[in-house]
A and B are shown apart, each in its own frame.
Chain A
């Protein structure tokens, strides 16, 4: 209680120190004890603190190293994966190219075979046509020949007499004779 009143009273008449200054009383300012305390604090605190900080530093270093290693491993794996990807892509390309060429070849083969069969069919058709033609021609020829033969038979029957008969036979004999000579 007295402190409060004192402090206000002292505003007016406090006698000991009126302004800023230095207190040179070594016992009152207590520097000896303070320096002892500081010295002990530094002496013991330094060891503990430096241990602590060293540990922390080592931990950080280890963490960094670990993550570096992990990073290296990850990069390596990435490289590997990339190489595999490249290989697979190349294979895929090859497959694609192969497939295309296969298809082309198949197409060509197909076209070839188709055209071949087409040709065959054409040939067959032509053959058939020719055969039919031949047949028709033969028929026509046979008919014409028959008619000619009938005509000739008629003619022969109507106007054949002995003399003509003989002449024809002799002429034919002569003709056969010459044919025989030629063949011989």
Chain B
């Protein structure tokens, strides 16, 4: 994409229509780390949206739920349903984790697809969905890894590692490899889908600004929701898998 920007100095006008920025980041220095500021900013916005709506929804709880409360209870029911089908009977303690994953990813994806982030101009890079950045998705995937290791170890103790030689010891390398491929596939799937979505939309907008990108944007919304659901479902499935016992 950035190839388009190569002749930026000479063709500023062309840049104005077709400025597609990938790999451009606004860097902040925080304690010796370079952080991607645009991701932080959009993450904060997403977190603010989630916390604010949740606080508003549960501020005045009723026995017979009214609109906002009803909606959030529905969402909670949905998340519990997902966790229950994937984890099984002991799904209770994991509902917050799965719910956090699902809601954060979902709202991130949809904010990237629905909010006009590009109205705000940054010194470098541009605002987009937080899941558009590989760091966010890797962080989420690693959290999932930690979660399923914790789940397995706290449930079965050291005998959790017995699953590596199940069903036969020959599969030991593959089973070990699985622990690395799980977060890898989780993070790359989410990152790739969202980035591809946004790129397609941006490229189409740069080519034909009106009407044509709209179907793709709807497709993006659909994919975003599916990706959030897939991430949450897979996280729950990994947790459930590490907790299920072969007694």
Contacts and interface: CB of A to CB of B under 8 A. Distances in A.
Contact of B114 (A28, A32, A38): A38
B205 A30 contact: yes
A18 interface: yes
A3 B214 contact: no
A53 B71 contact: yes
Contacts of B201: 30
User: Is the interface on chain A under 10, 10 to 19, 20 to 34, or 35 or more residues?
Assistant: 35 or more
B118 A41 contact: no
Interface in A32-51: 32-34, 36-38, 40-41, 49
Nearest to A52: B74
Interface in B49-79: 63-65, 67, 70-71, 73-74
A158 interface: no
B28 interface: no
B17 A29 contact: no
Contacts of B1: 3
A52 B74 CA distance: 9
Interface in B63-112: 63-65, 67, 70-71, 73-74
A32 to B, nearest CB: 6
B70 A53 contact: yes
Given A20-B120, A23-B119, A33 B211 contact: yes
A4 B23 contact: yes
A53 B124 CA distance: 43
B19 A16 contact: yes
B64 A64 contact: yes
A27 B17 contact: yes
Interface stretch (A55-63, A105-113, A116-124, A167-175): A55-63
Contacts of A41: 114, 221
Contact of A53 (B25, B74, B122, B221): B74
A161 interface: no
B165 interface: no
B124 A11 contact: yes
Say what secondary structure dominates the interface of chain A.
helix
User: Is the interface on chain B under 10, 10 to 19, 20 to 34, or 35 or more residues?
Assistant: 35 or more
B116 A31 contact: yes
Given A16-B19, A41-B221, A22 B120 contact: yes
A40 B215 CA distance: 11
A21 to B, nearest CB: 5
Nearest to A50: B67
B121 A23 contact: yes
A19 B27 CA distance: 13
Contacts of B166: none
A7 interface: yes
A49 to B, nearest CB: 7
Interface of A: 2-4, 6-7, 10-11, 14-23, 25, 27-34, 36-38, 40-41, 49, 52-53, 56-57, 60-61, 64
Interface of B: 1-3, 5-6, 8-9, 12, 15-17, 19, 22-25, 27, 63-65, 67, 70-71, 73-74, 113-116, 118-124, 201, 205-206, 209-211, 213-214, 217-218, 221
Query: What are the 9 A-B residue pairs with the smallest beta carbon separation, nearest first?
Result: A3-B23, A27-B209, A29-B118, A21-B121, A23-B121, A7-B23, A53-B70, A37-B217, A3-B2
28 contacts: A3-B1, A7-B124, A10-B24, A14-B124, A15-B12, A17-B122, A17-B123, A20-B120, A21-B121, A27-B205, A27-B210, A28-B16, A28-B19, A28-B118, A30-B213, A31-B116, A31-B119, A32-B210, A33-B205, A33-B210, A33-B214, A37-B214, A41-B221, A52-B74, A53-B71, A57-B64, A60-B64, A64-B64
